[in-house]
Amino acid sequence: MYAYIVRRAVYAVFILVGVNLITFALFFKVNTPDDIARLQLGVKYVTPEAIAKWKTERGYDKPLLYNAAAAGRHKFTDTIYFEKSVEMFRFNFGRSDDGRDIAYEISSRMWPSLALAVPVFLVGMLLQITFALMMAFFRATNIDFWGVVLCVLMMSISGLFYIIGGQYLISKLWNLVPISGYAAGFDALKFLALPVVVGVIGGIGSGARWYRTIFLEEVGKDYVRTARAKGLSEVVVFFRHVLRNAMIPILTGAVVTIPLLFMGSLVAESFFGIPGLGSYTIEAIQSQDFAVVRSMVFIGSVLYILGLLLTDISYTLVDPRVRFD
Amino acid sequence: MPLLPVILWTDALIYLLLAAVAGFVWYVRRHEHLRAPWWRVAQTPAAMSALVVLALFIAIGLLDSVHFRLALPAAPAMQADRTASRDVAYAVDVKSMLDVLLSSIANRPERTYSAPLATHAYAKETVELPGAGGAPGKQVRAYPRLKYGGAHLRDPERDWQADVVLTGFRGVALALPLWLLASLALVAACTPAERVASRDFWHAVWGGKTAVPWRAILITLALLALLGVPVILLSANYHVLGTDKVGLDVLYLSLKSVRTALVIGTLTTLVMLPFSVLLGIMAGYLRGAVDDLIQYFYTTLNSIPGVLLIAAAVLVLQVYIETHPDVFPTSAQRADFRLLWLCIILGITSWTGLCRLLRGETLKLRELEYVQAAQAFGVSEWRIMLRHILPNVMHIVLISVVMDFSGLVLAEAVLSYVGVGVDPSMISFGTMINAARLEMGREPMVWWSLASAFAFMLALVLAANLFADAVRDAFDPRVRVGVRKLRFAMASGEA
């Protein structure tokens, strides 16, 4: 199994190099550093000297992929692609356009993101599974039917509506919690309550329906019939056999999203004024800060690949039938 | 000719999609095994009600996809000259058929916000009262009358309520006969004449006993008529859903947003469909190095967080547009290109799921007897993929297309909020919500833009979800099993 994991990890490095090439192509090949410099400097101040200075300051004054002027291996290493990529892989992201250290920003903004994302993930999953269990247990009755109707209805409502509606109802009309903002320590609780509730409600529709199909699929299997034939009650069959077996696809499916919790939620964070990585990304997108967006793309990919790796491992842990060669 | 047709990029693709759908329908009608699942869809009441609503949205979207530039009235002095040279000047702005139909509500801008059905503006302004005998009048802060909304009322305080209620009733009274006529025509067009004439048939319809759920369809039509006709009548004199910040009618904006939503929901899957089908089948059938390469390709693309990839791509396009202004002469073309670009990028981030599903299904199919028989006969690999594999995975493609639609419509609103959605000048649900969001803090709240955008989106997405569910149920329950099996295959190292 260790050989398998090592193999997957090596594969992950190759994928990361691919991701890096794609983002590099997007950010540097389609828009040359000259284009970005012109955009950043503004129309008024564009002179060849100013562009050259801008490029030197940020290390963009080199060939993109192949440096014909350099000697030996420096032909490949003395380029924008190589230098920027190496720095990326060392998690050294450089500075954003307003001169701040990106790595420091990320490490300090990670915590508010997690403070929102982790409760939403845990509470949300618990509620979704509970709701799905109820529908599956009372399958083919009115409870199941109207539960599915409710799920489809909730799925069809835009996530923005939950946020705006929640802010209006709970913060503005009932005055229970502040509309937006954030504070460190325990004060964060009153700022986080509403976003967590909204996040949980927004995810319930699609989540519960998806888990319901997993439960129903499991209910139709042969071992369930065997358990009933043994004379077990429906409750025991359902909660001891079906639930435990259905947890395999549910848990392994959830593993891939766990690392991505670090990235935070783009929309919720900026709506509720939480200074996490999601709102950082949005600000960077809106101010066209390419260095920050590129760093976030890189981190997001690293986390996703980590999630894939964890999924592979979790299969071996929860399901003894899965073997690797 | 008084107008110059303009075919935008997305228009062309929509026409192509229409042709493809028409071809698909023609193909399905001639094949019994394909007709059967569609017949099951046609027997689902929820799906048929949803289809009626969807058809209305699609009609609006199609009307909005016929673009042209109107000819400008030639100046009298130049007229002789012009007719001689047959040279007509066309307006700069691109209009659509829907714009012309809605011109009565589109061309009545107020100054700023006004509530639904209002006669007075939302905010107080300094108004000059007429002074006695030509003397300068007194200036007071008051809610000014709207220029168009309720302009026909002499005394709005007294007449407004009666007028609205009366117009509403007239709408309802007009809707009922219209609905009866429409339903008779529809039922007669879809069933043999002798059955429509019989009393038993109508008993069956109202008892809900017909194979096609006519009762559900007719009730949906009735609701639409009861909602639509009064709105049409009221919109002659009022802004039924209010006006937005620059005084544009919100009803007009909502109807215009429908096309954007439909384009994003359909074209996104359409533009990447050939790639995902081709690559998915190739990976599953050819195996080996091709499989490895394709898998590497889609895992890499999948690893980039979707929103960030979209953001990066849209940023890139923005820079490109700003540095190459000469490529896009008009703002409509620029907005349209950005919409297409958004579809392509959304497609790139979402095609991998379908590709993976198809690969898994092809892996299963290639071991079946009929494929082995074809191989034994010496049929070429490409021909096997085209003739034997492709028709047997088409149901997965269809299901994935209809299931993706609603998610994409919802995604558009979020992306526009993030600032990487459609062009800010393009009317869409996202831009409507984004503009209205900033006014949340106002007192009293400006709720009508938000409410309209969310209500239209809910109707569209709910209809799409219900229809998609029926299609999925009718076509194949195996798909889900396919996903699970595939996960096992990947986990067990086959991948």
In this prediction the ipTM stands at 0.84
CB A158 within 8 A of CB A202: no
Nearest chain A residue to B481, by CA? A217
Q: What share of chain B is helix, strand, coil (3-state, %, to 5)?
A: 70, 5, 25
Average pLDDT over chain B, rounded to an integer? 83
Higher pLDDT, B479 or B124: B124
Q: How many CA atoms lie within 13 A of A144 on its CB side?
A: 12
B437: its two tokens: 């969001």
pLDDT tens digits, A36-46: 677 667 666 67
CB B141 within 8 A of CB B125: yes
Q: Using the beta-carbon criterion (under 8 Å), do A152 and B462 form an inter-chain contact? A: yes
Q: What is the pLDDT confidence band of residue B6, given thresholds at 50, 70 and 90?
A: confident
Element (DSSP H or E) covering residue B179: helix B156-190
> Taking each helix axis from N to C terminus, what angle separates B199-207 and B214-235, rounded to the nearest 10 degrees?
80
B386: its two tokens: 């085209």
- pLDDT over threshold 90, residue B19: yes
Cα–Cα distance, B298 to B231 (Å, whole number):
48
Of A242, A246, A249, A202, nearest in space to A223 by CA: A242
Q: Using the beta-carbon criterion (under 8 Å), do A266 and B307 form an inter-chain contact? A: yes
Segment B417-426 mean pLDDT? 82
Q: Look up tokens 């009626």; give the residue.
A: B52
pLDDT tens digits, A193-230: 899 999 999 989 989 999 998 998 888 889 999 999 99
Residues 42-101 of B with CB under 8 A from A: none
Which residues in chain B are contacts of A155 at CB distance < 8 A? 406, 461, 465
Compute, in degrees rounded to 10, the torsion defined by CA atoms B473, B475, B478, B479. -90
β-pairing verdict for B67-70 and B125-128: unpaired
Q: Using the beta-carbon criterion (under 8 Å), do A167 and B437 form an inter-chain contact? A: no
Q: Which of B320, B323, B488 sits opposite A38 (nearest CB)?
A: B323
Higher pLDDT, B438 or B9: B9
At residue A75, the pLDDT reads: 67
Q: How far is CA B307 from CA A164, B261, B302, B303, B313, in A?
A: 21, 18, 11, 12, 10
CB A290 within 8 A of CB B315: yes
Higher pLDDT, B89 or B22: B22
Can you give the pTM of this predicted structure?
0.87
- pLDDT over threshold 70, residue B34: yes
Q: Which of B307, B312, B457 sits opposite A27 (nearest CB)?
A: B312
Segment B425-433 mean pLDDT? 89
Cα–Cα distance, A71 to A114 (Å, whole number):
47
Q: Which of B297, B313, B493 sits opposite A26 (nearest CB)?
A: B313
Q: What is the pLDDT confidence band of residue B480, given thresholds at 50, 70 and 90?
A: very low
Cα–Cα distance, B464 to B403 (Å, whole number):
8
DSSP H stretches of helix in B324-389: 331-365, 369-376, 381-384
CA distance B294 to chain A (A): 12
pLDDT tens digits, A226-278: 999 999 998 999 888 899 888 888 888 888 888 888 887 888 888 888 888 98
Cα–Cα distance, B451 to B457 (Å, whole number):
10
At residue B491, the pLDDT reads: 37
Mutate to test the interface with B, among A285, A311, A316 (most CBs of B within 10 A): A285
Number of CB pairs, chain A paired with chain B, less than 8 A apart: 142
Q: What percent of chain B clears pLDDT 70, i.e. is strictly above it? A: 91
At residue B485, the pLDDT reads: 38
Cα–Cα distance, B174 to B339 (Å, whole number):
39
Q: Using the beta-carbon criterion (under 8 Å), do A164 and B440 form an inter-chain contact? A: yes
Q: Is B332 on the interface with A (CB under 8 A)?
A: no
pLDDT tens digits, B50-104: 999 999 999 999 999 988 888 777 655 555 554 545 566 777 778 888 888 888 8
Write out the DSSP string of A139-160.
TTSHHHHHHHHHHHHHHHS-HH
> In residues, how long is chain B?
495
Of A124, A137, A133, A150, nearest in space to A254 by CA: A124
CA distance B165 to chain A (A): 29
At residue B495, the pLDDT reads: 29
At residue B488, the pLDDT reads: 37
Q: Using the beta-carbon criterion (under 8 Å), do A39 and B458 form an inter-chain contact? A: no
Residues 283-322 of B with CB under 8 A from A: 296-297, 299-305, 307-309, 311-313, 315-316, 318-320, 322
Write out the DSSP string of B116-150.
TT-SB-SS-EEEEPPPGGGPPPPEEEE-PBPSSTT
Of A101, A157, A112, A150, nearest in space to A128 by CA: A150
CB B264 within 8 A of CB B426: no
SS3 B17: helix
List, for chain A, all residue ranges whose pLDDT scores fall below the cut of 50. 325
Compute, in degrees rounded to 10, the torsion defined by CA atoms A174, A179, A182, A183. -30
SS3 A28: helix
CA distance A322 to chain B (A): 6
At residue B489, the pLDDT reads: 37
Which residues in chain A are contacts of B421 at CB distance < 8 A? none
> What is the separation, in whole angstroms, between the first and last Cα of chain B?
61
Q: Using the beta-carbon criterion (under 8 Å), do A18 and B296 form an inter-chain contact? A: yes
Contacts with B176 (C-beta within 8 Å, 6 or more apart), sequence order? B225
Q: Using the beta-carbon criterion (under 8 Å), do A159 and B311 form an inter-chain contact? A: no
CB A116 within 8 A of CB A269: yes
Q: Using the beta-carbon criterion (under 8 Å), do A15 and B312 form an inter-chain contact? A: no
Q: Is B465 on the interface with A (CB under 8 A)?
A: yes
Contacts with B16 (C-beta within 8 Å, 6 or more apart), sequence order? B270
Contacts with B266 (C-beta within 8 Å, 6 or more apart), sequence order? B14, B17, B405
Q: Is B331 on the interface with A (CB under 8 A)?
A: no
Q: In the sheet where B67-70 sits, what is the strand order?
A: B3-6, B67-70, B95-96
CA distance A267 to chain B (A): 7
Q: How far is CA A93 from CA A99, A224, A291, in A?
A: 12, 54, 8
Q: What is the pLDDT confidence band of residue B384, given thresholds at 50, 70 and 90?
A: very high
Q: What is the pLDDT confidence band of residue B486, given thresholds at 50, 70 and 90?
A: very low
Mutate to test the interface with A, among B296, B298, B303 (most CBs of A within 10 A): B303
- pLDDT over threshold 60, residue B16: yes
Higher pLDDT, B191 or B406: B406
B89: its two tokens: 């000047």
Residues 415-454 of B with CB under 8 A from A: 417-420, 429, 433, 437, 440, 445, 450, 454
Contacts with A226 (C-beta within 8 Å, 6 or more apart), sequence order? none
At residue A324, the pLDDT reads: 56
Segment B228-245 mean pLDDT? 87
> In residues, how long is chain A?
325
Burial of B165 per CB tally in 10 Å (0-12, 13-18, 19+): exposed
Helices (H) and strands (E) in chain B, counts: 20, 5
Cα–Cα distance, B397 to B403 (Å, whole number):
10
Cα–Cα distance, A190 to A195 (Å, whole number):
10
